[in-house]
Amino acid sequence: MKKYKDVLVGLVLCGLFLLSLQLLFGTMCLSKLFTGFPCPGCGLTRAGLFFFQGRFLESLRMNAFFMLGFFFVFVGIVMKLLKKNSLFINTYVIIVLVLFFIYYGYRMYHYFPETEPLTYWKGCFLEQIRRLLEQ
């Protein structure tokens, strides 16, 4: 039971941290905050919001990995319950991560920087430092 309590505390702290970033800086993405560039998970939050509102096509457009994530988590839970060996689970996780980064590369190549959420954010720290140096 303590294990689940620790996980819950961790999730609450992460949520508070992300909310603080959003309120203070206008973004909760550390990649966009520091570099201005979208991270591989860019659009997952909006995809989730659209998904739970029943706006499935918009969810897919934001980041298809949100819906695929449900499938991957489900398969992961089933594998854990079936007590599959760790090599099988580790291989599965590596495959999912490789697919995730391939999808990110595809999205960056085809949609950056004109299409939301894959846009460059000019409010980032690097952009502000660049402006200061130009003065």
- For residue 126, pLDDT over 90 is answered with yes
73-111 pLDDT, tens digit per residue, is 787 778 778 876 677 777 877 888 899 999 999 999 999
Query: Which tokens belong to 28?
Result: 């909760």
Distance, first Cα to last Cα, the chain: 57
Helices first, then strands: H and E counts in the chain: 7, 0
Q: How confident is the model at residue 29 (pLDDT cuts 50, 70, 90)?
A: confident
Look up residue 73 and give its amino acid. V
Question: 8 in a domain, yes or no?
Answer: no
Q: Containing domain of residue 93, as a range? A: 38-119
Question: 83 in a domain, yes or no?
Answer: yes
pTM of the model: 0.75
Question: 89 in a domain, yes or no?
Answer: yes
- What is the total count of domains within the chain? 1
Q: What is the CA radius of gyration of the chain?
A: 18
Question: 126 in a domain, yes or no?
Answer: no
Question: 133 in a domain, yes or no?
Answer: no
